[in-house]
Amino acid sequence: MKTPIFPLLLGLLISCSSWAGQDHGEILSGPFASGSEVTSQCIECHEEHATALMKSSHWTWELEQQLPDRTVKRGKKNTINNFCVAVSSNEPRCTSCHAGYGWKDNNFDFNDMTKVDCLICHDTTGTYVKDPAGAGEVAAKVNLTRVAQNVGRPVRDNCGSCHFFGGGGDGVKHGDLDSSMSYPDKATDVHMDTDGNDFQCQDCHVTQDHQITGNAMGVSPGGDNPIGCSNCHEAEPHKKAKLNQHSQAIACQTCHIPVFAKNEPTKMSWDWSTAGSDRPQTVDQYGKHSYMKKKGDFVWAKSVTPEYAWYNGKADAYMPGDKMDAKVTTKLTYPLGSISDPQAKITPFKVHTGKQIFDKKHNIFITPKVFGKGGYWKTFDWAKAAELGMQQNATMVEKGISFSGEYGFAATEMWWPINHMVSPKSAALQCKDCHSAKGGRLDWQALGYDGDPMKNKTGVRHAR
Amino acid sequence: MKMMMNMMSCLVVGLALATSAYAVDGGNPKKGKHLYKKTCKVCHSQGDVGGEMTPMTKTMSQWDRYFKRNKHKGNPEVFQQLSDKDKLDIQQFLYDHAADSDQPQTCG
């Protein structure tokens, strides 16, 4: 049966013009005293959209997922990272990036639809901001009526308001996402180049019913990632057969994202063990803090060459309460795969290193309370911060773990896949960048090869 | 003397009203920052022919007056090539980060 084309075209027309066609200025007169008041109006017509959003991890901050040896519920809600360590007990600060209003402690009502923050994603005025330490509530200076009257489809600025500034500042976490991606030029990102393709985030992170595809390894190592270059590009896109052969063992990103943090520096290391000293506060060559009494030592870097590892699309992670060994570096999140895994490809990563507090008796990582009353940033007392943080952490309470009274600092790593900041092809890696007599950017031994496989023809090869 | 004072206060109130009546609104300052860097900084960076210009070069009301009256009269084509929305966005950015604003900026 042929599809009648007229209703199809009509449907398309209606769906395309749905934002532009509806003047929200006529419906939403305001004034609004709070974000929730706006939401109450939104859901008069958009209840199903709020319901859908409430099923997504932008709202729940957790996702049931499969790690190699267990099924876990994991997300921002309970992840231990090597930045500010954990959301729990630090809510009003961390939850300023929650797509909701008022998550200030464990009592937040995840069933209250009026707490959904529609505007953080749908503001088109560029003036909507959340209070940085207000549990997701709107900053006082925002003109809510104007923002509500001008809602529309998200642009990079909307997603970026959290995803470019996670970890408390511009470019802190990802390395391939920072404020320069709001309006990037071609050299920064060929896909999002404002004078070229001008892709918005959702052009690749395809979204249906408010479920946005894509999962960050830090929070969802077991999450699906149906986004990939081959969704748009052919599997063998190069003219040269040699390059197409390479793509069986090497991720596209490896050659096409030769460096990350192209414009803004990213944080590469955070050492909490030196916090609390009266050493003077210092800044580095980028103007970023390199020592702060509250937070310890930082290392920032710009135009960073990634680290490379085999990655088969799956990852593993440290879960709260897992035993750790302070004598070795704990990988809090890391990619899975090896040279003998046919599904794995050599993939670029930002590796963020840290030194963070752990319980010497229980041999687990501690989630300290750093923010707010009794927090480390006020008291500079690690024992107190550890005790309060563990008491207020629902996962730790559920597991029956409390602070033993003895703490130390142990080394950690977090692996962040590099997927954005794709360079123009003229800047892609060349043969010699890896296959060089002087030693290129790949550590062949660490990857499981006997040496450069171009020269060592009889050595170990990638399983295919 | 008293009359003088009254006249002065009328003038001050009048000026304040006139200034607030200008206050630009409705532009997208984030888009404006991008457009400013892309279109204005080409000729207005340090050492350039147009002389360095940053949001802090003018006060909020000076920026509003500039967009209302001057309109880049030294080279009006530049302004004519920009859409009204783009100009509003640029004006909003400059206004929001002017010398006397809450967040003065040199434009990073």
Q: What structural domains does chain B harbor?
A: 2-96 (1.10.760)
Q: Which of A197-211, A421-435, B17-31 comes out lowest in average pLDDT?
A: B17-31
pLDDT at res. A125: 94
Q: How far is A216 from chain B (nearest CA, A)?
A: 26
Categorise residue A287: left if φ over 0, alpha if ψ from -120 to 50, beta otherwise: left
Local confidence band at A372 (pLDDT 50, 70, 90 cut-offs):
very high
Burial of A312 (0-12, 13-18, 19+ CB in 10 A): middle
Residue to test with chain A: of B24, B25, B30, most A Cβ within 10 A: B30
Average pLDDT over residues B77-97: 94
B85 in A contact zone (CB under 8 Å): no
Give B 8-47 residues with CB within 8 A of chain A.
25-26, 28-32, 34, 38
Q: How far is A132 from chain B (nearest CA, A)?
A: 16
Tell me the pLDDT tens digit for each residue of A9-50: 444 444 444 555 578 998 999 899 999 999 999 999 999 999
B68 in A contact zone (CB under 8 Å): no
Predicted model pTM: 0.89
Residue to test with chain A: of B24, B25, B28, most A Cβ within 10 A: B28
- Exposure string over A84-113, b if 16+ CB within 10 A, otherwise e: bbbbbbbbbbbbbbbbbbbbeeeebeeeeb
Point out which residues pair with A349 in neighbouring strands.
A417
Q: Which residues of A touch B30 (CB under 8 A)?
A: 126, 157, 182
Q: How far is B30 from chain A (nearest CA, A)?
A: 6
Tell me the pLDDT tens digit for each residue of A252-266: 999 999 999 999 999
- Is residue A338 within 8 Å of residue A311, measured between CB atoms? no
Of B26, B34, B38, the CB nearest to A182: B34
Strands A307-311 and A296-301: unpaired
Closest CA to B93 of B55, B47, B40, B50: B55
Closest CA to A127 of B84, B55, B93: B93
Local confidence band at B2 (pLDDT 50, 70, 90 cut-offs):
low
pLDDT at res. A439: 81
pLDDT at res. B9: 56
Q: How far is B49 from chain A (nearest CA, A)?
A: 24
DSSP string, A241-289: HHHHHHTTTB-HHHHH---B-SSS-EEEEEEGGGTT--PPPEE-TTS-E
Interface predicted TM-score of the whole assembly (ipTM), two decimals: 0.73
- Token pair, residue A360, equals 């010497």
Residue to test with chain B: of A124, A125, A164, most B Cβ within 10 A: A125
Residue of B nearest to A123 (CA): B28
